[in-house]
Amino acid sequence: MIGILFLYSKYFLLVEDKKEIREIGKIVNIEEVKGDTVFVRGTHEEIEKLERKGFSVFIYPETKPAKQEGYHDYYKLTEYLDTLQVRYPDLVYVFSMGKSVEGRELWVVKVSDNPEDDEPEPEVRFVGTIHGDEPVGTELILMFIDSLLSWYSKKPEIKELVDEREIFFIPLFNPDGNLVLSRYNANGVDLNRNFPVPDGSPGGDGTYELEPETESLINFSAERHFVLSCTFHGGALVVNYPWDYSPDSTPDQELVYKIALAYARENPLMYHSTEFDSGVTHGYSWYPVYGSLQDWSYHETGCIDYTVEISEIKYPPYDSIPAIFRENKGGMIEIIKKAGWGVHGSVRDALAGNSLNAIISVYEIGKDMPAPSGEFYRVLLPGEYTLIFSSPGYTPRVYMFFPVKGDTSLHVKLFPQKRVRVCVRTEVDGVNIKTILSDTGEWRVDGEEEIDVLQGFHYFLASKPGYKTVIDTCTVSGGEEIEFRMEPMDTVVFMSSFGFDGREGSDTIEVNDSISFDELNVYFEERASSPLTAYLFTPWGDSIMLFKRKEGISGWFEREILSHHPGSILKLSGSAKGRWVMVVKNRDGDGGEVNWGLEFGRIVGEDFSCS
């Protein structure tokens, strides 16, 4: 280790604004940022490049801290975990997920009511000491485990969490580095710069090679279905959320932020920070990191992972650990609780009943989550969502406007992809019929036609200009007769256009007449060089996301776009009078042009039958 680290000396720089920090991060690996001081470790060539950019770089004189009594190194930890397993055999299961560079076990502690069984419950992960010189995370985890176990028989709310979750702790992720109080592992690699970067670039260690510790955690996580995770660090007091590598927000930004805030609120010192707003920060906005555990975790597995800095001092006096525990136990419990938010259930073959390797997509968010064993847990805020379940060789199952309130259960059945014939009838000619989000086909029907459809559950959309757009559901197995009753529709159309620069633009359509409508159709046509997100704001205050981070959108939503980009405009009706606002956001901030319009229609009657 000594020979490798000799090539990478530690330096510090003074900066005046955040832009300088991001510029530094493009050149050299940032270890930490404290106020206006940036600490980096790099080669002579990297430091010279910084100086050519105009930065003043100073050598940082490193001193090795003296070891303190009370902290658990690898050997003390192993002894402690052996005792823990004996004391709580019905609640604790201790095992190794792999070995470090120098052959030390990477211990995992599972706490649950049936710890040796794999139960259909949300899974949570806590990781300590990814940096060997920040052992405060190990001590927090051990104290929290001990408290969970002692509270189990005394506090019903703790017993419920332990019984209904599978809680995994990795107390000492970097045992080799910790033994010599080094940030790095035995190969001189920063493990929190060694995970695959979402954009495919090399990590902050400058390579694509995975260290044994990193590979062990990746392989271990692939066998699990973690939904929330925290990795504990020392050196600051803040909850850091992804992305670390990019200035963009994650697709789950609102959810990610609210859970981070829930943790910070439980820690008054963190929440009332004078450096970080409410004790939380977007990773890249603090300082860029390439190859972090939290970025890999969310991008690759869907597990929302937080970097939680729990002490201003990396290696605080051991007698401060009980206070650090008291400050963080509430946040850790919040993470365990919120692992049950959203929707969970199973995905099975509708005919054979076996579990399927599936993907769950939430249209409004745009982030796929794996369900490798047919068991899924998707953390979501309360609301209505379009859920799409898919598996190779099966017809996708779509749930539109699916209500999620707290802990919501859903068991999904997918039909094997097999084309069957059904009879379709319409009362008028020239009706265009599609299936929504299942890509099973598109047909023009004149009166009566037999069509080939993938068996399974479908949302059918029937449209014709001047007629009510008909949308409803039918489970198709072959031989069904599907009738669409198309009714004329009186319409009023308003059109507008606007251009915008930067990341966001908006435009308004003012409806001055008292127009009562039963159906709204939205026209959208964009010319932009990067994906847009579009929102429609109604006169009465509703906000409707039409689509998220898409490009090439052109047409009327209900007649042409809806089958691939469902929005909540289907539920709108009432008075059209007032101000309608279109807001677009450009991912890359390079502006664009938009043509848009509103079509209000009066419709009545029943529209659909399936027999």
Is residue 2 scored above 70 in pLDDT?
no
Q: For the chain, which domains are there? A: 2-59 (3.30.70.250), 93-338 (3.40.630.10), 342-414 (2.60.40.1120), 419-488 (2.60.40.1120), 490-605 (2.60.120.260)
Closest to 132 (Cα-Cα) out of 50, 77, 203:
77
d(CA 1, CA 180): 10
Residue 406's pLDDT is what? 85
Highest-scoring range by mean pLDDT, 150-154, 402-406, 449-453, 488-492: 150-154
Find the mean pLDDT for residues 213-233: 97
132 pLDDT tier (thresholds 50, 70, 90) = very high
User: Lowest mean pLDDT: which of 83-97, 244-258, 529-543?
Assistant: 529-543
Sheet-wide strand order for 431-435: 442-445, 431-435, 456-463, 470-476
Q: Which residue has 């009510």 as its token pair?
A: 468
**Which pLDDT does position 604 carry in this prediction?**
53
Above 60 in pLDDT, residue 175?
A: yes
- C-alpha span between 563 and 557 (Å, rounded): 8
Give the per-residue SS3 of 400-434. Answer: EEEEECCEEEEEEEECECCEEEEEEEECCCCEEEE
pLDDT at 292 over 70: yes
CA angle 213, 215, 220 (to 5 degrees): 95
User: Which 3-state string (H, E, C) describes 321-383?
Assistant: HHHHHHHHHHHHHHHHHHCCCEEEEEEEECCCCCECCEEEEECCCCEEEEECCCEEEECCCCE
Average pLDDT (161-178) is: 98
Structure tokens at 270: 């963190």
Whether the predicted pLDDT of 584 surpasses 70:
yes
Mean pLDDT of the chain: 91
pLDDT the model gives residue 563: 67
pLDDT at 9: 78
Say how far apart CA 342 and CA 604 lie, in whole Å: 36
Residue 309 annotated among the catalytic residues of the structure: yes
Per-residue pLDDT, averaged over 447-473, amounts to: 88
**pLDDT of res. 8:** 62
pLDDT(397) > 90: yes
Cα(482)–Cα(122) distance, integer angstroms: 40
- Angle at Cα 587 formed by Cα 599 and Cα 550, nearest 5°? 45
Angle formed at CA 421 by CA 455 and CA 555, multiple of 5 degrees: 75
Position 416 scores a pLDDT of 95
Is residue 506 pLDDT above 80, yes or no? yes
d(CA 139, CA 325): 8
Assess whether pLDDT exceeds 60 at residue 607: no
The residue from 32, 121, 266, 309 that is catalytic is 309
Confidence of residue 567 (pLDDT cuts 50, 70, 90): low
- Cα–Cα distance measured from residue 579 to residue 365, given in angstroms and rounded to the nearest whole number: 27
Tokens (6 digits) for 85: 């397993």
The pLDDT score that the predictor gives to residue 606 is 40
Which position has the token pair 């929440």? Answer: 271
Structure tokens, 449: 């036609």
Q: Which residues pair with 29 in a beta bridge?
A: 41
Residue 138 near residue 72, CB atoms below 8 Å: yes
pLDDT digit string (tens) for 533-542? Answer: 999 999 998 8
Higher pLDDT, 601 or 265: 265
Q: Mean pLDDT over residues 175-203, rounded?
A: 95
Rounded to two decimals, the pTM is 0.88
CB count within 10 Å of CB 14 equals 13
pLDDT of residue 251: 93
pLDDT-derived band at 42 (thresholds 50, 70, 90) equals confident
Q: How far apart (Å, rounded) are the C-alpha atoms in residues 19 and 36?
A: 12
Task: List pLDDT tens digits, range 117-131.
Answer: 999 999 999 999 999
